[in-house]
Chains A and B, each alone.
Chain A
């Protein structure tokens, strides 16, 4: 059997059946979204950087289309357009996706699960991990490494620390983008950006003055100057951030906040221990992050109830998948010796549906299976076993 032929023969490929059967048994309906998709949602949600890996075309009406680079957004769009939109619904998929990968084939298979509309989030999260483990198990890969994290905890911490908005924005962004957060924390501790600021004197004079009055002053000055070309930003937006720089000038990230962030980021290991450490940290610093910790604890409870040996899972507060649409639980399954590429990766993205145009938030969680890695490393479930 050749795997490259599988996209056209998923109905008959035994390994495909073995992969999808547990999903079907759990009530997930096979989704088969169009291969040709509007490019806009992908560019809008993933940013311009994805453009270099997209196969783009423009049709006669001028609309930009692409071959689907992944299946989450197509499945979500079909769901949003259906009459079940807003209702709980689960989908599975297996099919080709198209991405330029510099030398490796651009057309490759992706499988996965999407669960939309379930309000029992912790249970749905745990179900994702259980199904993902079934998928790898079907290929004989039972000794996978389970890495988990929860970006909601970091968000809760930053919110509770009551930092200046500019620091809050920056820390959240760094966490999501998976650049070296520790390094950046050091940098903002040392305060301010590079180079000389021509407004330094003005900023120093405004520092500590009444914010409302200062804002009015800067806004007036800009209006007097006849500022018209503001490039989509309002004058008050500009004035507001301008004044924010005077607060930045007057000092760096408070050392106690820095200490707490570092202590938080160091928490990892067995989920039970991690929960205990998080509760101690919250109590010590009198931070209200209880709701996020409770959610983590409930999720771990559901995992255990699904027969997952949670002591085998590794929880890390600093685990993030580097994609800013995740909002909570995140996980990856790794096989030893497969480098950085996971076998399965997924998580919760409760913000995705509204970004795709849903009028009200719809919970969403799911995962993708790296079919190439799974079929290469695992035993073929279609062969005599």
Chain B
């Protein structure tokens, strides 16, 4: 038997729950055949796929080293821990959970500081006045360094912080912080504010592929099947199915519906009796229903879709392009 295709999934907390729910929705049920405390799992129905349960930061590291083929991890960790991330891994798709921003936050008392340009001035003035550089507490050393460099700020030092970073300015181990925040409540509670242009990264959980993994023909085929499931589910969740039949329904009407509501007709135009199946973005459903009825439809039915299997697989196409580079 050849080496398994490895998919890394976060091993704890909300991230794990969300990731498992994501795979389940895509029809890829994760199973732990040797019990819940096992750190290896499988996907029901897919042979030779191994699920590796790892911490989110370990997943980023293993992706960069090619030790796993695919992984679910935060973009913040990918950008922080992988040098030249875009060459070594591919962010295949945003997963819609695990959202948080990496931000620059300074004490609220700095009423004179609102922007990175202010910070540039203040850090230089501080160095001249106090004969040392301002300190930034963070675990995002690389993100901080490149963001500050892009703003031309040089008069600072990084203090590595493994936890409770937002407390550093109050206890005096740093003047400001770079940290991840979802609501900003913790920052405010610690007397900190985010600079107007201080958002370094809007991060969320991503499905990530490794460049250096063993991409044999078999591995590519496995990736294609997994990504096909995910793409089918992603396509399905973007639309609702709308069905109706009325004799005034023709190509002109559908073209108008397409332009106004973003509707697509996956199975072609209306039949001779005016029967049609449409896919419509959820937000436009009611408007579309009204539009169809105004043009003669007696009944319009709306149903949710579980999967939409297209000939094209945009996710796998991206992966193939990336692996060819």
Flag if A231 contacts B107 (CB, 8 Å). Answer: yes
Interface readout for B94-126 with A: 1 if CB under 8 Å, 0 if not?
Answer: 000000000000111111101101101110111
B158 contacts partner chain A, Cβ-Cβ < 8 Å: yes
Q: How distant is the Cα of A238 from the Cα of B197 in the complex, in angstroms?
A: 20
Flag if A231 contacts B176 (CB, 8 Å). Answer: yes
B324 contacts partner chain A, Cβ-Cβ < 8 Å: no
Chain B contacts of A232 at CB under 8 A? Answer: 126, 130, 134-135, 169, 172, 175
A376 contacts partner chain B, Cβ-Cβ < 8 Å: no
Flag if A169 contacts B121 (CB, 8 Å). Answer: yes
Chain B contacts of A233 at CB under 8 A? Answer: 110, 122, 126, 175
User: Given A48-B156, A231-B110, A241-B112, is A195 in contact with B129 using a C-beta cutoff of 8 Å?
Assistant: no
In angstroms, how far is the closest chain A Cβ from the Cβ of B302?
A: 44
Interface readout for A220-237 with B: 1 if CB under 8 Å, 0 if not?
Answer: 001000011111110101
Chain A contacts of B32 at CB under 8 A? Answer: none
B155 contacts partner chain A, Cβ-Cβ < 8 Å: yes
Q: Which among A47, A52, A233 has the greatest number of chain B C-beta atoms within 10 A?
A: A233
Q: How distant is the Cα of A198 from the Cα of B112 in the complex, in angstroms?
A: 11
Chain A, residue nearest B115 (CB): A193
A44 contacts partner chain B, Cβ-Cβ < 8 Å: yes
B170 contacts partner chain A, Cβ-Cβ < 8 Å: yes
Flag if A194 contacts B115 (CB, 8 Å). Answer: yes
Chain A, residue nearest B156 (CB): A48
Flag if B156 contacts A47 (CB, 8 Å). Answer: yes
Interface stretch of the complex, out of B49-57, B146-154, B207-215, B279-287: B146-154
A177 contacts partner chain B, Cβ-Cβ < 8 Å: yes
Flag if A231 contacts B125 (CB, 8 Å). Answer: no
Chain B contacts of A198 at CB under 8 A? Answer: 114
Flag if A47 contacts B133 (CB, 8 Å). Answer: yes
Task: Count residues of B near A (Cβ-Cβ below 8 Å).
Answer: 47
B66 contacts partner chain A, Cβ-Cβ < 8 Å: no
In angstroms, how far is the closest chain A Cβ from the Cβ of B319?
A: 27
In angstroms, how far is the closest chain A Cβ from the Cβ of B201?
A: 18
Flag if A194 contacts B152 (CB, 8 Å). Answer: no
Task: Count residues of A near B (Cβ-Cβ below 8 Å).
Answer: 35
User: Given A44-B157, A48-B148, is A231 in contact with B133 using a C-beta cutoff of 8 Å?
Assistant: no
User: Given A49-B149, A199-B111, A233-B110, is A194 in contact with B125 using a C-beta cutoff of 8 Å?
Assistant: no
In angstroms, how far is the closest chain B Cβ from the Cβ of A143?
A: 36
Flag if A238 contacts B111 (CB, 8 Å). Answer: yes
Interface readout for A172-196 with B: 1 if CB under 8 Å, 0 if not?
Answer: 0100010100000000000001110
Within 8 A of B (CB), among A100-117: none
B145 contacts partner chain A, Cβ-Cβ < 8 Å: yes
Chain B contacts of A166 at CB under 8 A? Answer: 121
Chain B contacts of A229 at CB under 8 A? Answer: 107-109, 169-170, 190-192
Chain A, residue nearest B107 (CB): A231
Chain A, residue nearest B190 (CB): A229
Chain B, residue nearest A235 (CB): B109
In angstroms, how far is the closest chain B Cβ from the Cβ of A54?
A: 12
Within 8 Å by CB of A238, from B110, B114, B157, lies: B110
Q: How distant is the Cα of A232 from the Cα of B114 in the complex, in angstroms?
A: 17
Q: How distant is the Cα of A195 from the Cα of B118 in the complex, in angstroms?
A: 12
User: Given A193-B115, A194-B117, is A231 in contact with B154 using a C-beta cutoff of 8 Å?
Assistant: no
Flag if B157 contacts A48 (CB, 8 Å). Answer: yes
In angstroms, how far is the closest chain B Cβ from the Cβ of A90?
A: 28
Chain B contacts of A179 at CB under 8 A? Answer: 152
Within 8 Å by CB of A48, from B120, B152, B158, B174, lies: B158
In angstroms, how far is the closest chain A Cβ from the Cβ of B88?
A: 14
Q: How distant is the Cα of A242 from the Cα of B109 in the complex, in angstroms?
A: 11
Q: How distant is the Cα of A166 from the Cα of B144 in the complex, in angstroms?
A: 25
Chain A contacts of B145 at CB under 8 A? Answer: 48-49, 51-52
In angstroms, how far is the closest chain B Cβ from the Cβ of A185?
A: 15
A310 contacts partner chain B, Cβ-Cβ < 8 Å: no
Chain B contacts of A231 at CB under 8 A? Answer: 106-107, 109-110, 169, 174-176
Q: How distant is the Cα of A229 from the Cα of B172 in the complex, in angstroms?
A: 9
Within 8 A of B (CB), among A51-65: 51-52
Chain B contacts of A43 at CB under 8 A? Answer: 157
Chain B, residue nearest A355 (CB): B131
A263 contacts partner chain B, Cβ-Cβ < 8 Å: no
Q: How distant is the Cα of A245 from the Cα of B117 in the complex, in angstroms?
A: 13
Within 8 A of A (CB), among B2-39: none
In angstroms, how far is the closest chain A Cβ from the Cβ of B16?
A: 32
Flag if A237 contacts B129 (CB, 8 Å). Answer: yes
A209 contacts partner chain B, Cβ-Cβ < 8 Å: no
Flag if B111 contacts A242 (CB, 8 Å). Answer: yes
Chain B, residue nearest A174 (CB): B152
B248 contacts partner chain A, Cβ-Cβ < 8 Å: no
A84 contacts partner chain B, Cβ-Cβ < 8 Å: no
In angstroms, how far is the closest chain A Cβ from the Cβ of B2?
A: 34
Chain A contacts of B110 at CB under 8 A? Answer: 230-231, 233, 238
B196 contacts partner chain A, Cβ-Cβ < 8 Å: yes
Flag if A44 contacts B133 (CB, 8 Å). Answer: yes
Flag if B196 contacts A195 (CB, 8 Å). Answer: yes
Chain A contacts of B157 at CB under 8 A? Answer: 43-44, 48
Flag if B109 contacts A238 (CB, 8 Å). Answer: yes
Q: How distant is the Cα of A166 from the Cα of B96 in the complex, in angstroms?
A: 44
Q: How distant is the Cα of A228 from the Cα of B124 in the complex, in angstroms?
A: 23
Q: How distant is the Cα of A222 from the Cα of B109 in the complex, in angstroms?
A: 8
User: Which A residues fall within an 8 A CB radius of B?
Assistant: 43-44, 47-49, 51-52, 166, 169-170, 173, 177, 179, 193-195, 197-199, 222, 227-233, 235, 237-238, 241-242, 244-245, 324
A-B contact pairs, 11 of them (CB 8 A): A44-B133, A48-B144, A49-B154, A198-B114, A228-B170, A231-B106, A231-B110, A232-B126, A241-B122, A241-B125, A324-B154
Known A-B contacts: A228-B109, A231-B107. Give 4 more (CB < 8 A).
A48-B148, A48-B156, A229-B191, A238-B112
